[in-house]
Amino acid sequence: MTKNYLLNEINSSNKSFILYKSKKGFDLFSDFSKKIILNNKNINKFLKKKLKTRKKLKNTDLFIGFFGYEILNNLIGVKLPKQKSINFPKGIFYKPETKVSLKDNLFYKSNSDKKVDKNFKININQKTYTKIFNRFKKKIRSGDTYQIKICTKYKNKSKIDPLDFFCRLAKSNLAPEAFMIKDKNFSIISCSPENLITKNGLSVSTKPIAGTLRKTKNINKTKALNFFRNNIKETKEHNMIVDMERNDLSRICVPGSVRLKKEKSVEEYKDLYHYVSLISGKLKKNVKNIDIIKAMMPGGSVIGCPKINTLNLLNNQEKENRNIYTGSFGFIKFNGDMRFNIIIRSILNYKNISEISVASGVVIDSNAKHEFNENFIKAKALIDLYK
């Protein structure tokens, strides 16, 4: 079996598998010997478990999977009110026995005729969005939050071939934290651009994104950078996230070691430009992985600021469970190294219902119509896959 046919083989075998963007291409994880479905009871045990280390770490000596939004809230003591829920698992981790490295140009030809609906239903319309928006603006005036993200959800009924979707997405929108999971009764496809935790030994870093600009013919990377720099609203929003991520790293890092490595640069994607910073630090010696996860998750840039109060405000507002959205996907190696993203720009397909969630920020000078449209821009690259 050559690598070219590998994806066709594995997809038709009905085995569960995961693809995750690597530096050079994609890593394919399969042959799962363990599957741990997380809940509030076993998550602490899972995260505190001493992982057996061999002298030489095998490339499959890791757990790979995701934490949903709800379990990350619960982990830091934030409770969610009763919400509409599809009872999707709160988190799942897999122990792979096989890992294969693939190149960026994924080779896969779909031969299945799946039933795909082009139309999506949005859970809040512009009028409702504006109402929520104005309520949150009042909360900013009174100092209860400084920035808060309103989440909208697009849904439809579709039977999809997730690998076909992912390969097309990877072609049009090669994002540094892209991943897909195919399991028996669900699949996740994501072109997340955002890394939340990279931990190697004692060094840890995070790369928050705050600021989005739609691509047009007249804009290039330099012009995008100038746009962000001259746009006071985008700059303030970004500054806030930088200080917030510095704070979250400071919880677990040696005083004086937290540094802003890359301040406000621009990254280019298919439909948009992002405003990005990179912050790093050196971990305190006694810090455990569970401490890192509790300090950093859920990722601040997709919540707002300050974290706890803002989480409470938005949880009380949201009628539907976010499921995977703004959770984190990644892996924990047996030697303790970790890599986690923030799950955004994602499709969750569960029991043949597709859902795409997006969010955009309310700060004091944002405009409801603009933010509502920004949500659509973010969803567009994914909605286009259904055409």
Residues that bind other proteins (CB under 8 A): 140-147, 232, 235-240, 242-244, 246-248, 250-251, 253, 255-256, 258, 260, 263, 300, 305-310, 363-364
Q: Which residues pair with 278 in a beta bridge?
A: 262
Q: Name the minimum Å distance from CB 291 to other proteins.
A: 13
Closer CB to other proteins, 110 or 239, in the complex: 239
Q: Name the minimum Å distance from CB 304 to other proteins.
A: 9
Distance, in Å, from the CA atom of 300 to the CA atom of 166, rounded to the nearest integer, reads: 26
Cβ count within 10 A of residue 46: 16
Amino acid at 27: D
Q: Name the minimum Å distance from CB 255 to other proteins.
A: 4
Strands 328-333 and 338-341: antiparallel
Distance, in Å, from the CA atom of 91 to the CA atom of 328, rounded to the nearest integer, reads: 9
The total number of residues written for the chain in this structure: 387
Rounded to the nearest 10°, the torsion over CA 253, 248, 70, 51 is -10
81 and 315 Cβ atoms separated by less than 8 Å = yes
Determine the 3-state secondary structure of 74 from DSSP.
helix
Closer CB to other proteins, 310 or 328, in the complex: 310
Distance, in Å, from the CA atom of 275 to the CA atom of 132, rounded to the nearest integer, reads: 26
Closer CB to other proteins, 123 or 235, in the complex: 235
Q: Name the minimum Å distance from CB 201 to other proteins.
A: 21
Determine the 3-state secondary structure of 320 from DSSP.
strand
Q: Name the minimum Å distance from CB 305 to other proteins.
A: 5
Closer CB to other proteins, 303 or 356, in the complex: 303
Instruction: Name the residue among 321, 317, 326, 310 with its Cα closest to residue 363.
Output: 310
Closer CB to other proteins, 152 or 310, in the complex: 310
Closer CB to other proteins, 199 or 307, in the complex: 307
Closer CB to other proteins, 193 or 361, in the complex: 361
Q: Which residues of 271-285 are buried (b: 16+ CB within 10 A; e: fewer)?
A: ebbbbbbbbbbbbee
Strands 272-282 and 328-333: unpaired
Q: Name the minimum Å distance from CB 147 to other proteins.
A: 7
Q: Name the minimum Å distance from CB 338 to other proteins.
A: 20
Q: Which residues pair with 37 in a beta bridge?
A: 92
Q: Name the minimum Å distance from CB 208 to other proteins.
A: 12
Closer CB to other proteins, 181 or 258, in the complex: 258
